[in-house]
Amino acid sequence: MSSLNAAELFFEEHEEDGAAEEAIHKAFDAAEPALAARGGEVGLLVVPPGPAGLEFLDVVRRVLADVPLIHVVGGDDILFYREAAQVAFDKLAQLGPAARAAYDQLKRREHFTPHSRTDIVFV
């Protein structure tokens, strides 16, 4: 069993020139929100404590210099979290044409309302 934290393990696995930078780009891109944001994006990076975590943070700051990221030192893992801010309602699948058709169908049912939860049973 290894006592390496996630940052130490990352650098051990990405020793070749440019490998760490490429892996960071891939991880950051993989965390991209599925929806486009009107109000921009919120980004968070969590790194483990210790020298390797701080080194990872330094590499990220260099590689993603134009990206505003809030960074947190703590935990055992490396985490990129990206969230779309102020997503337009018309971009949400649950509010699109198929959802409208389902809503209209539910409204036509007798003794049923789509405006209350049906999964909660009172006894």
Over the stretch 47-88, which tens digit does the pLDDT of each residue have?
A: 999 999 999 999 999 999 999 999 999 988 999 999 888 777
Q: Look over the chain and give the mean of its residue pLDDT values, rounded to a whole number.
A: 86
Global pTM value: 0.67
Domain boundaries, the chain: 6-87
Residue 2 above 70 pLDDT?
no
pLDDT of residue 38: 67
Buried b (16+ CB within 10 A) or exposed e, 59-87: bbeeebeeeebeeeeeeeebebebebeeb
In percent, the amount of the chain with pLDDT more than 70 equals 91
Return all residues near 75 (Cβ < 8 A) that are at least 6 apart.
46, 48
Tokens at 83, concatenated: 């969230």
